[in-house]
Structure 1
Amino acid sequence: MRLQTMQYALILACGCMVVADALAADAAGVVKTLKGTVQVERAGTSSGAAIGSEVYGSDRIVTGPQSSVGITLRDNTQLSAGANTILDLNKFAFNTTTHDGVLDATVKRGSLAVISGKLAKANPDAVRFSTPTTTLGVRGTAFIIEVGGNGEGAR
């Protein structure tokens, strides 16, 4: 009977590790730098970002006045959002083995500097950045997007 209990415990432990790995894999990236006030809006809630905070493919990142945030995505894409920016990460998926996936983001207002990662290098057509008036395909390795005025603050 004791052997059976140990087997169940081992199965449960392995299952928990698989679930934890799957949840961690869902994170699009992590906050690497932070200045001022930065909010992450997710599933109708808002929380303050901190260095090390995970961001997900459906998050909205909002920077305050005189604030900025640097995010590194799982494919090593680097995003740097300036003051008064609203950035929607519409979708992010990345396979670390094949480098397949998708990156779809919208800059509603403010500025975003981008250094492309493995996804854009392997499949440029899978990476898209949009603004209220333009959609950009990635063909280079580094670029800056600026949306003047109020942009579109509402989701």
Structure 2
Amino acid sequence: MKPLTKNTAIKAWLALMLFWVASVSWAAQVAGTVIQLSGPLMAKKADGAVRILSMRSEVESGDTLMTEKNTYAMVKFIDNSEITLKPSTTFKVENFSYDADKPDGDKASFNLVKGGLRSVTGLLGKRNKEKFEMKTPSATIGIRGTTFIAEWVEPSATAIAAREAYLMASTASLDPLAAPVQPLMLAQAPMASPTGFAAGLYVHVLDGMINLNNQGGSMQFNAGQFGFTPNFKTPPVVLPQNPGLQFSPPPTFGTVSGPSGNSGAPAQSNQVDCVVR
């Protein structure tokens, strides 16, 4: 057996280094861990594969999470932020990056496709609040050290077809001198949805402050306030009270802190997620 030549040894060393770099890159994509679950939760991966998640399953940047009809799910991210999903919710972790020693690389970009959630700000949002954004079908949510609830109520098929005609007719009928109240009137006008609520984005700020921004304008909401915007072209408005939306996860969801430690690292799990092919 011939001894390894110098070139062969170098090639082997380079191969090991490439493998190590690839492993580190893959590990950096882990965004958080499922720490509470009351029913089926699925994750559509960036490559299209679908997995059924369980307690302590890892959630990666690029995952689209989908809860079933009666499922609440809580994800604790590596910066100690938390997202609790309501039943029948679709939520995408578009881009999440956090390193305690590298604040310049912070990024938290989410997309609430449908349904509702509660968001609790973590270390990333506290030190780099401008690096956090949550997209929805009618506005983008920014934070200021916040706990908030957001819910997107989908319009019915009839409402979608009639939306543009309705807005044009409503705008034309308003007195131009009453311009300051036009957004509120449009927001409160009835838009049918399967749930009976006016279709659109609802928010409730529990702590801190959030900002809703869309093509119609921008508005800040403080702790205790409710907000609404029906679509991406209508400015957000403050609602005088809770319109009746509820967020009621199981009582145990409020008593578990998730993975221990202050580093924000996800808990290790020996469980193997089920892959749906």
Runs of 4+ in 1 over 6 A off after TM superposition: 8-15
Question: Who is 1:134 aligned against?
Answer: 139
Alpha-carbon distance in structure 2 between the residues aligned to 1:12 and 1:32: 37
Alpha-carbon distance in structure 2 between the residues aligned to 1:14 and 1:30: 28
Displacement of 1:137 in angstroms is 0.6
Question: Who is 2:48 aligned against?
Answer: 44
Alpha-carbon distance in structure 1 between the residues aligned to 2:84 and 2:90: 12
Alpha-carbon distance in structure 1 between the residues aligned to 2:115 and 2:93: 15
Q: Deviations over 1:24-62 (max 9, x none)?
A: 222011111111111000121111011111111111000
Q: Deviations over 1:93-149 (max 9, x none)?
A: 112213331101011111110110111101111000111001011113211111112
Alpha-carbon distance in structure 2 between the residues aligned to 1:128 and 1:64: 25
Q: Aligned letter for 1:142?
A: T
| Corresponding residue SS for 1:70 | strand
What pairs with 1:20-59 in structure 2 (closer than 5 Å)?
20-42=23-45, 43-59=47-63
Alpha-carbon distance in structure 2 between the residues aligned to 1:12 and 1:35: 44
Alpha-carbon distance in structure 2 between the residues aligned to 1:14 and 1:34: 38
Q: Aligned letter for 2:48?
A: G
What pairs with 1:1-150 in structure 2 (closer than 5 Å)?
19-42=22-45, 43-100=47-104, 101-149=106-154
- TM-score scaled by length of structure 1: 0.83
Give unpaired runs (5+ residues) of structure 1. Answer: none
Determine if contact 1:99/1:118 at 8 Å carries over to the other structure.
no
Alpha-carbon distance in structure 1 between the residues aligned to 2:16 and 2:153: 51
Q: Aligned letter for 1:94?
A: Y
| Corresponding residue SS for 1:125 | helix
Alpha-carbon distance in structure 1 between the residues aligned to 2:21 and 2:137: 40
| Corresponding residue SS for 1:119 | helix
- TM-score scaled by length of structure 2: 0.49
Give unpaired runs (5+ residues) of structure 2. Answer: 156-198, 200-277
The two structures, once aligned, show a CA RMSD in angstroms of 2.5
Aligned length: 152
Displacement of 1:23 in angstroms is 2.4
Alpha-carbon distance in structure 2 between the residues aligned to 1:80 and 1:144: 9
The percent of aligned pairs where both chains have the same amino acid is 25
Q: Aligned letter for 1:127?
A: F
Alpha-carbon distance in structure 1 between the residues aligned to 2:12 and 2:52: 37
Displacement of 1:16 in angstroms is 5.8
Bigger radius of gyration, 1 or 2? 2
Displacement of 1:19 in angstroms is 4.6
Q: Aligned letter for 1:59?
A: D
| Corresponding residue SS for 1:39 | strand
